[in-house]
Amino acid sequence: MTSRPTSAQLVLKITSFILRTLLNILFYTIVVILIARASKITYEFCYQIFGQVTVSEEPGRDIEIQISKGESTMNVASKLELNRIIVNKYSFYIKAKLKKHTIMPGTYTLNTSMTYDEIFAIITVPSAEGTDTNTGDSNTTGTTEIKGGNSTADDKSETGDLSDTADSDVTNDTDVTGDN
């Protein structure tokens, strides 16, 4: 004998079917939204690493940054993000590691309209023990003070002076002194 489902059982089956269908639709909608947001975040992060991102449009504003000897790349990135020179410290850090940039100590004048590549072009310029002041303007000259009189051929070749005198003043970008 087969018993016929009562109307209460039929309503219960239909209600559970509709509820399961709605929950499935809700679940898959949430999954699609999360995937879309994760894709957007990933795209923006990758664009920050590989694209030409700036914080503000030209002319921007100049900010002076002091980078200490031995300071980590992440600390420098945090400093730049805190001063609103870069968009994201993590994308800056990853770009520095991917391109194998070595950040040099010194004092630098950076602009909020600079791209990451322009910033790296300034803060990766080798300087020895002294303070390096650079700006994004290629017509402006920075100064580098080398202490101890031990200048290298690379330092001299940048200035065009290949003589062996360490206690001379070089007129281009480097002031070489014999002070300790």
The model's pLDDT over 168-180, given as tens digits with 9 standing for 90+, comes to: 333 333 333 344 4
State mean pLDDT over 60-85: 93
Strands (E), the chain: 62-67, 106-111, 144-146, 174-176
Please tell me the pTM assigned to this model.
0.59
**Measured distance CA(101)–CA(153) in Å, rounded:** 22
Cβ proximity of 142 and 85 under 8 Å? no
pLDDT score for 173: 38
When the candidates are 3.30.1490.480, 3.40.50.150, 3.80.30.20, 3.40.190.10, the CATH number that belongs to 62-124 is 3.30.1490.480
Q: Is the pLDDT score of 154 beyond 60?
A: no
- pLDDT tens per residue across span 83-136: 999 999 999 999 999 999 999 998 999 999 999 999 999 999 865 444 444 444
